[in-house]
Structures are given as C-alpha cells and as structure tokens.
Amino acid sequence: MTLHPDSLAVHAGRDDLAALGVHALPLELSSTNPLPDIELGGLSYEVLATGGHPFEGGSNVYARLWNPTVARFEEALARLEHAEESVAFSSGMAAMTAVLLALTHESQRRHVVAVRPLYGGTDHLLASGLLGVETTFCAPDAVASAVRDDTALVVLETPANPTLELVDIRAVVAAAGDVPVLVDNTFATPVLQHPLDLGAALSLHSATKYLGGHGDVVGGVVACDARLAAALRRTRAITGAIMHPLAAYLLHRGLATLPVRMRAQQEGARIVADWLTARPEVARVHFPGFAASDPDGLVGTQQSGPGAMIAIELTGGFAAASLLTSSVELFTHAVSLGSVDSLIQHPAALTHRPVASEAKPSDALVRLSIGLEDPADLIADLAQALTATADARENAETALA
C-alpha cells in the first residue's frame, strides 16, 4: 500500500510491533546481548562491525553496533526521505563527522567543496582541518570550478543557516559531476524537501531540531543508499557514535507529528514574517516565502513550502540585536530551532562564532524559530521588544546630540 506522507509519518518503522504484541514503540536499553554460541557470536560481531545488518540466528552483540529501537527510527526516517536506508548518530555533528570520515576513506580523496553559508558547526569542522580534510568554500555557482580530481564530497545546506538562502540542489548536483553531494535538510525536513529525489547522495539532519520537535533530545541522521549506509555504520561502530536508544525512541515518536507541526509552524512563520516587513526597526526580513528571498523560484518546485525559520536584520545593528534578544518574553533566547516553542538567537555571537570573518553573518542579524504559539502572541512579544530597541536607540541619539 502506498501511503500519504502524513500516514507514513505515523506508521513507518512500526511494521514489527504487532508481531511483538505491542501498540506503542518499545524502548530497548540493553547494552549487551546474549550470544547463541561462540561461532555465531563472532560472526554477528564481524557482520555488524563492518556495517552489515543482523541475521537470523545471530545476535545484536553490543549496543555500539546495533540497537532495535535505533533501527526502527532509521527505517522510518529512510522511508520519509525516499531513501534505501538511514543511519542515526549521537548528534548532527557526529553524523557529519562520520560522513567525512567514511567518504574520504572510501575514495582516498581528502578534498571537500562546501557551499556557504552553512551551519556554524559544520563550517568550523571543515575549516579546522581536524579530520585531515582540505575544504574549498564557495558560492553555489562556483561549485564546478571548485571541484578537483581529489574531491570526495560537496556539502550544501538549503535553506541555509542562518540567512535562509535557498540553493538549487539539482544545479549543484550537475556541477559536482561524479562527486557525491550532501544536503543538510534540517530546516526543510522530509515534509518539505527530498534531496535524494533531486540527485543528492546524502540527506543529513540535526534530528535535535524539527524531527524531535520538543527540545528534549539530541541526535543526527543521514539518509542515503544501502552502500553508503554500510560505510557509515562501519564508521559509527568504530568511532562509537551510535544514537542512544532513548533518543531514537523520542525521535521516532516525534516523526508521527512532524507533518502537522511543520505545517502549523510554517503558517505561523508566514504571519510573523509579513508583520515584520512593516516594522521600521527591521531593515530586512529573510523568509523563503518572500520573492526577494527566493529569486530562483525554488519554493513550490524544489521545496514545497518556505518552512518556519525567519532571519531579520535590524536597523540598529548589534546593539539593537542584543537588546531585542534580551527583551523578548514569550520567545526563549537560546540556540537551536525547530521546537514547539519559539526561539530567538544571534548567530554571529553564538552558532556562527567560530566561522571565518568573511563568512560570518551580520552583527545586525537575528534568527527566529517559530513554534506553535498563536502568531498574535508572538507578534505582541516582538512588538514590545522592538519598541524597546527603538526607544533605546532614540535615547542614545538624544544623549549624543
């Protein structure tokens, strides 16, 4: 049976529950598992440690290698992403690290092309050279010229963090040629965008964000084909970066409401973004639902909706941004995004602090993650906070005069 995405979000990864005699997702916490005998135990270990799946009559051996709760979440996410498989990690950065290690080892190439802007942690990892990787950062239209004979991977994020710039995935895939392309799909989620359908080899999520949706779990996951998934599981087994089963349980449960949450948060973001455009304290509103933020018309073609993230640049610069983030009452001033409650943060000072100066976002830019509150309440909170920034600026100008 072919299911609508809303139905798939509820039922994916639960096919074995009836046979287990349960309705709700089980949580399996065993750190070690009984072995049928030495020979089968040893074979099970070898298969799992090299990226394979459990086999009938074998054992899951050890939680660093395999866990049924994690595997159910992986199956569910893979189906939502239109992927053969997915591999779950302890965090989004652990997932990105595993991709870099696996692909550079497999190809024996050490060069990566990265399209900026990117999440600050990813940018920092690539720029640091910590994993022995050399990175060329570029704009989307420069990918073809940046790719070399020793390029192992092209990395992009769309919508990009924090300015919400949209990148044409098909165009980058074409420019990359035979080099695999990874898309960070965290902001869009599988509800709005399917990178693998557009030619990307890997779709990565910080599962901490929209997939979990409640600000109470940390994790990362990569959707891809079976061959790449095996390489990622091998890397995960060696490095010990598997997702904890409690995190997988919470994330799998979160997937059931992901489509409903995304649509509701997206609609709230539309209303808030429209209101922000009329505020004199705001110099510019970045929101993919606006034509100015989507010059190539990717919303409606590549991405089915604009999402629930907004970035604003304030006329008062850093001082106004600082005052705004400290004056809100309903928004929580905190890093991260995608939760049911609304968050606000200053990327240049926080998530993008380690990024090179030429790629750092403006000091005047503030990022908003719109939650499930009534948009009127969010607008009222921003109104009183923006008024405070305007009053402070006016007082400062009066004092200088």
> Which residues are identified as catalytic?
64, 119, 184, 209
Encoding tokens for residue 394?
């006016």
Q: In three state form, how does the secondary structure of 104-147 look?
A: HHHHCCCEEEEECCCCHHHHHHHHHCCCCCEEEEECHHHHHHHC
Look at residues 258, 249, 219 and name the one whose alpha carbon lies nearest to residue 26: 249
SS3 28: coil
Which residues contact residue 252 at a Cβ distance below 8 angstroms, ignoring those fewer than 6 apart? 13, 25, 69, 72, 73, 76
The first and second tokens of residue 369, run together, are 């993650």
Can you name the residues that pair with 367 across neighbouring β-strands?
Answer: 311, 345
* Range 127-132 contact pairs with CB under 8 angstroms and sequence separation of 24 or more: 127/354, 127/355, 127/356, 131/97, 131/100, 131/101, 131/104, 132/104
> How far apart are the C-alpha atoms of 370 and 272, rounded to whole Å?
8
